[in-house]
Structures are given as C-alpha cells and as structure tokens.
Amino acid sequence: MIEFENVYKEYSNGVMALSNINISVPRGDFVFLVGNSGAGKSTMIKLLIREEKVTRGKILIGGTDITKLRKKDIPKLRRNISVVFQDFRLLDKKTIFENVAYALEIQGASKKEIKKSVNESLEIVGLSNRALSYPDELSGGESQRVSIARAIVNNAPILVCDEPTGNLDTDTAWEIMNALIKINERGTTVIMATHAVGIVDKMQKHVIKIANGCIATDVEKGGYYENN
C-alpha cells in the first residue's frame, strides 16, 4: 500500500538525509521506523506527508506517486494520512472535545457527525470522561491520547506517529501503545518512528531500521535489534 522506491533526500544545506530507500508497508500493517537520532526517521515521515519533497525516487500510496502531487492536491493526501507528533500541539483555549472536533469543523461536517466522530475517537483512546477538560488539566499521556484522538477523527486509513512516546515514562508510553494497537486492529495502517527499544521488542511487529540514511534491516516481525 505504501512504497518508497529508490528514495533520496538531500536537504538544501547539502546533508544527504536518505539514500536509496526501498520499503513496502502493506495495508493494515503496524510498522516501526527505528534508528539513532539523526538516522533519517523524521525525514521519511516528512516525505510521506509531503512536508518535504524527495530529491529522487517515488513514494507510492495506493498506487499514486505522491511526489508528483501538486500543491492543491496535498490537502487530499492529508485526509488519507494523519499525523501524531512527539509534542502534542493541542489548542490551549479549547476543550478536549473542541480540540478533537476542530479538523471536522474546518471540513464543514454537521454538528451531529462531529459529535458522533469525536465521541468515538475519545472512546478509543479511553478519554470519554475528559471531553470537557482543557489541555492544561491533563497529564502528558492523556494529552498524547487526545492528539491521537484528533488524528483519527476523520478515519484516515494511515496513521503516522513521530516519537509519540518520546517524552513519556514507560507506563504512560504503554497507554499510548495500547491506543495505537486498538486503532491498528480496526484496520488503520500505523507507522511509528521511535527509539523505544522496550516497546519495539515487546510488540514483535514489522521493524525497519535506518542507519545513516540507509535501510539497515527490514524484518517482517521482530525486535529492535533483529537482523535480516
């Protein structure tokens, strides 16, 4: 469903962040992008959501080469891929319900649709009881779960997470993982960049390891340090 074909990314300052990346992520997969800081994980994610453009190569999503998309078609791509970042990026002045509802409001969804979708999303991440709270009343783990609820509210088939447990302790990180597992079980493809060794080892999912901008290993099922 998602394929990188001979992808290269050179930033304008001359840094070659990715070289000859070839990966394939089937529909419904749960895949970890692992590797040291600076390896190129965030760059892969930025290419996938067209926050950055490839220098060379193709990125196919459901057969469409997204590197060829025009600017006006990027919002359509973003409806297929939603993103969760390490920092939660919630709107302080809005309630949890309003934070999750925001994207749907912009798309012009009806009040009834919004209520249904937001409540479903909050339910999946276990935060139905916090709908009327404000972001500053939540713990880090709860805040991250809100940002996940916000990401899944429009039912995009792909969820991309960049270090979603990066700032959280182990127990809290597993609350996040349990939400992601649930979302994946409903059919969403989950792509998660991380260097949380314990989590990757425990999950035994598809693991793609990047080192110095190249694919070091790619195992269908394994832990952090698995070899091909």
Label residue 48 exposed, middle or buried (CB < 10 Å: 0-12, 13-18, 19+): buried
Closest approach, Cβ 208 to ligand ADP, in A, equals: 12
Cα(197)–Cα(106) distance, integer angstroms: 38
By CB under 6 A, is residue 144 in contact with ligand ADP? no
Report strand pairing: 158-162 vs 81-84: parallel
Token pair recorded at residue 63: 């057969």
Task: Map residues 150-189 to x or -, x wherever contact with ligand ADP holds by CB under 6 A.
Answer: ------------xx--------------------------
The rounded distance, in Å, linking the Cα atoms of 77 and 157 is 11
Residue 90 token pair: 């919630």
Q: Of residues 6, 11, 137, 187, which one binds ligand ADP by CB under 6 A?
A: 11
Nearer to ligand ADP among residue 15 and residue 74 (C-beta): 15
Range in contact with ligand ADP (rule: CB under 6 A) among 12-20, 142-150, 182-190, 199-207 = 12-20
**With binding defined as CB under 6 A, does residue 194 bind ligand ADP?**
no
| Total residues belonging to the chain | 228
* Residue 50 engages ligand ADP in binding (rule: CB under 6 A): no
CA angle (93 as vertex; 141, 179 as ends), nearest 5:
25
Q: Which residues in 15-44 contact ligand ADP (CB under 6 A)?
A: 15, 17, 35, 37-43
Q: Specify the residue, 14 or 75, whose C-beta has the smaller distance to ligand ADP.
A: 14
User: What is the C-alpha separation between 228 and 222, in angstroms, rounded?
Assistant: 10
222 touches ligand ADP (CB under 6 A): no
Query: Rule CB under 6 A: which residues touch ligand ADP?
Result: 11, 13, 15, 17, 35, 37-43, 162-163
